[in-house]
Amino acid sequence: MTDIAQHILLMGKRARAAAHELVKLSTAQKNDILRAMAGGLRDHAQPILEANARDVAEAETKGLSKPMVDRLRLTPESLEAIAAAIEQVATLPDPVGEILSETTRPNGLHITKIRVPIGVIGIIYESRPNVTSDAAVLCFKTGNATILRGGSEAFHSNTALANALQQGGEKAGLPAHSIQLVPFTDRESVDHMAKMDQYLDLIIPRGGQSLVERVVNVARMPVLKHYHGVCHVYLHRDADLKKAIDIVVNSKTQKPGVCNTLETLLVDTDLAPTFYPALASALAAKNVEVRGDATVLTHWPDAKPVTEEDWSTEYLDLILSVKTVDTLEEAVAHINHYGSHHTDSIVTENADAAQQFLHETDTAVAMWNASTRFNDGGEFGFGAEIGISTDKLHARGPMGLAELCSYKYLVTGNGQIR
Amino acid sequence: MTDIAQHILLMGKRARAAAHELVKLSTAQKNDILRAMAGGLRDHAQPILEANARDVAEAETKGLSKPMVDRLRLTPESLEAIAAAIEQVATLPDPVGEILSETTRPNGLHITKIRVPIGVIGIIYESRPNVTSDAAVLCFKTGNATILRGGSEAFHSNTALANALQQGGEKAGLPAHSIQLVPFTDRESVDHMAKMDQYLDLIIPRGGQSLVERVVNVARMPVLKHYHGVCHVYLHRDADLKKAIDIVVNSKTQKPGVCNTLETLLVDTDLAPTFYPALASALAAKNVEVRGDATVLTHWPDAKPVTEEDWSTEYLDLILSVKTVDTLEEAVAHINHYGSHHTDSIVTENADAAQQFLHETDTAVAMWNASTRFNDGGEFGFGAEIGISTDKLHARGPMGLAELCSYKYLVTGNGQIR
């Protein structure tokens, strides 16, 4: 066994021991620890900023792009924002201990299903150092131990942040090794984590497609994925023109670089002559490039021809593919075939059509007369968001604190036997 | 690509198309189809029994053990029982469509979380042909398409059963390819299924450790596992002697070959002089072999010395390992270290001790003064059981119909944008 493998195994063993201690903490104790973690960040502000300056300098030497370097950079203000965010998490309701169901069986056995921590969660992520704090803090709030493995660019920042959180938390009773950062940034360490199912109950990759692919291929434990978002808006023949324009413009342009942004617009063929010119001027005002089929090209000034590849492309940019469809069934079939099961919205005044769309699209969040941008933990009122799951098991759509929990059954009897 | 790989990919594509049709069926339509499936089994009784006779003859020629051959054998009576079980499933409540939560946001968006089918489920199983029907029927009841891959011993029986179910169901509107059986029994076909995450949303291996291991290693989609059960009963120092004897004898001997049977007994050291002799005579009457530590050997006639390996062994036989512990903490630590997180029970009259045990054991079903044998879908009132999950994500403990479902969010607005 390599040194890296041995070290990661030791981290796993320690995380499991921490998890068995974490389960004993009350909500009040956890919230005290969270505030102490925020204090830890403030106390360690200087070493954290120094470590970050080292990462930034290395990134600049390596010639990383300016947006990449900016994502890496911490300032006294952004560090204070991270600390304040931890204090905010302390104020959120604790899902652990929540009773999910309760029943008494004819033989008198009382069965209670309650929310409990998952145990040990592995988080594998790329550049942004604030993920170190966000992920560790939300996992801790729900009683989980974490093993964090960040990207090489933010290595010194991540190490300093994780130490500050763990050491700060320990002042208020955080069990040892509750938050651990993997001291390796090579790919081998990802593989060792992903195979360690005796200690890791869940692994969450947060990063690009190739990282997610690697984890999915190797992992023996459950993986919660946040794949790409190829989201659709469908303008049904009974769509209201004003709502249609508002929703399309907002879904496409309010924040084009995120997963819940609109990528493909489907439009009923009857609407083409009137809606396309109106949409064209509204989107031209926002500098959106449009790629469409033959009908689109007829009615939409400046539209370019679409290719087959466009239908499954997540542009994350001011580009929109547009397809003309004859029926609601055709729209649903297109979405289920080319989409990423993330967010899909119908615009219509026809309730029957809307219900059919909501139920037949195989998507995490199906919408009626609303912008795709509302698929978001904050907009759903979750208080905190870990990500948006494109999986169908355990968590689908926006993930809040409850999605970082498992459950168990407590069965109480007075000597029952079978 | 091999012929097998191509064929399995085609099955996946067809299953996905079936899943998109299945989501449109109402509960009443699904129940009609279930009754038609039962009819299909009755109509095809002769070809099914002929196919089964062929499997049984081949098994006997190959020299399979008598219990193996018996597990394989179908009779007119057992086939009728399978058909009647399908009709029973038709009477169960449908979890699909159930509203899990509902909220209206300050901006007027109405968000409903509802239960929906998972989509396409792969089931990989070994000898018993009745699994073909059980698995397909429960998956169908919850609106899922299935790809079944049974063992080679039951190949002809499984093929005949799957055909009868699909053809019978089609008479009442079952979409084509809703129930498909893989026509290969080599290991390669398991690997192709486990990698096909574009079409399979979930894979459930039902069989021995090596099958489960293989699926876990290869699978790209979520796996729901039913690993072994190393279950414990802990006799706390405030245990009632009569309850203790009843629960230990029942947990160990009522059905020793199943996963929720007791394998390791933990006993408070204060109880050793009185409880061990009493337990010894009760268990001797049931021919249970006992392996214990030094304290056990002192007080328990005929006990043999235990080895380190015993603590993690699932005997599935009339064998019991017994350990003497000084504290509740030691009992919990032993269970969390050596157990399989399946079922663990404390016997005590002390409510505080019981609560500590229930919350600190890292187990799917933690019990107080009850036999471990109650960890069972039927005993929990689930109506149907797919298995007992030893996983912590999506499903933990007994899995009923609800655990064969995912959820989605339906968001209704009137033109909201961000």
Contact status, residue B265 vs residue B378, Cβ threshold 8 Å: no
Within A282-355, strands assigned E span 289-292, 304-305, 319-325, 343-347
Q: What is the pLDDT of residue B387?
A: 87
Mapped onto helix, strand or coil, the DSSP state of residue B253 is helix
End-to-end Cα, chain B, rounded Å: 47
Judged by DSSP in three states, A180 sits in strand
- Pair of tokens at residue A250: 């907002």
* Contact assignment for B362 to A417 by CB distance below 8 Å: no
Mean pLDDT score, B221-230: 90
Q: Hey, is B53 helix, strand or coil?
A: helix
> Minimal Cα–Cα distance from A32 to chain B, Å?
21
Average pLDDT of chain B, as a whole number? 96
Question: Does any CB of chain B come closer than 8 Å to the CB of residue A22?
Answer: no
CATH of B3-225+400-411, one of 3.40.605.10, 3.40.190.10, 3.40.50.460, 1.20.1630.10: 3.40.605.10
Tell me, what's the pLDDT at A386?
86
- pLDDT digits 0-9 by tens, A384-396: 888 899 999 999 9
**CA–CA distances in Å: residue A113 to residues A96, A110, B348, B378, B413:** 11, 10, 21, 16, 34
**Over residues B366-371, mean pLDDT:** 98
Q: Is the pLDDT of residue A111 over 80?
A: yes
Supply the pLDDT for residue B385. Answer: 86
Residues A42, B343: Cα–Cα separation, whole Å:
44
Place of tokens 């009683």: A143
Round to whole Å and give the CA distance between A65 and A62.
Answer: 9
Interface of A with B in 114-143 (CB under 8 A): 118-119
Q: What band does B106 get if pLDDT is binned at 50, 70 and 90?
A: very high
Q: From chain A, pick out residues whose CB is under 8 angstroms from the CB of B111.
A: 380
pLDDT, one tens digit per residue, over A115-155 is: 999 999 999 998 789 999 999 999 999 999 999 999 999 99
Q: Give the pLDDT mean for B189-206.
A: 96
Confirm or reject contact between B371 and chain A (CB < 8 A): yes
Q: Does B202 touch chain A (CB under 8 A)?
A: yes
Question: Residue B338: its chain A contacts at CB < 8 A?
Answer: none
The pLDDT value recorded for residue A385 is 86
Task: Point out the residue among B373, B397, B406 whose CB comes nearest to the CB of A393.
Answer: B406
For the cut 80, the answer to whether the pLDDT of residue B127 exceeds it is no
Contact A417 B367 (CB under 8 A): no
Phi–psi pair at A299, nearest 5 degrees: -105, -5
Q: What is the mean pLDDT of residues A343-364?
A: 98
Question: A262 in helix, strand or coil?
Answer: strand
Residue listed under structure tokens 């405030």: B238
Measured between its terminal Cα atoms, the distance across chain A in Å is 47
- Taking contacts as CB-CB distances below 8 angstroms, the residues of chain B near A249 are 417
Which residues contact residue A70 at a Cβ distance below 8 angstroms, ignoring those fewer than 6 apart? none
Report ipTM for this prediction: 0.95
DSSP state of B153: G
Query: 3-state SS string over B306-372?
Result: CCHHHHHCCCCCCEEEEEEECCHHHHHHHHHHHCCCCEEEEECCCHHHHHHHHHHCCCCEEEEEECH
CATH class belonging to B231-374: alpha beta
pLDDT digits (tens, 9 = 90+) for B259-317: 999 999 999 999 999 999 999 999 999 999 999 999 999 999 999 999 999 999 999 99
Residue A42: exposure state from Cβ atoms within 10 A (0-12, 13-18, ≥19)? middle
What was the pLDDT predicted at B45?
98
CA–CA gap between residue B233 and residue B255 (Å, rounded): 16
Cα-flanking dihedrals φ and ψ of residue A150, to 5°? -95, 180
Q: Would you place residue B67 in the very low, low, confident or very high pLDDT band (cuts 50, 70, 90)?
A: confident
Q: Where are the beta strands (DSSP E) in A217-288?
A: 231-235, 262-268
Cα–Cα separations (whole angstroms), residue A229 to A9, A209, A354, B23, B313? 35, 12, 21, 22, 46
pLDDT in tens, B305-346: 999 999 999 999 999 999 999 999 999 999 999 999 999 999
pLDDT for A210-224, tens place per residue? 899 999 999 999 999
Which chain B positions have a beta carbon within 8 Å of A383's beta carbon?
Answer: none
SS3 assignment, position B145: strand
More confident residue, B50 or A226: B50
- Break chain A into its structural domains and give their ranges: 3-225+400-411, 231-374
Location of structure tokens 């390819």: B177
Spell out the alpha helix ranges (H) of A321-373. 328-338, 351-360
> What would the pLDDT profile of B369-378 be if each residue is shown by its tens digit?
999 999 999 9
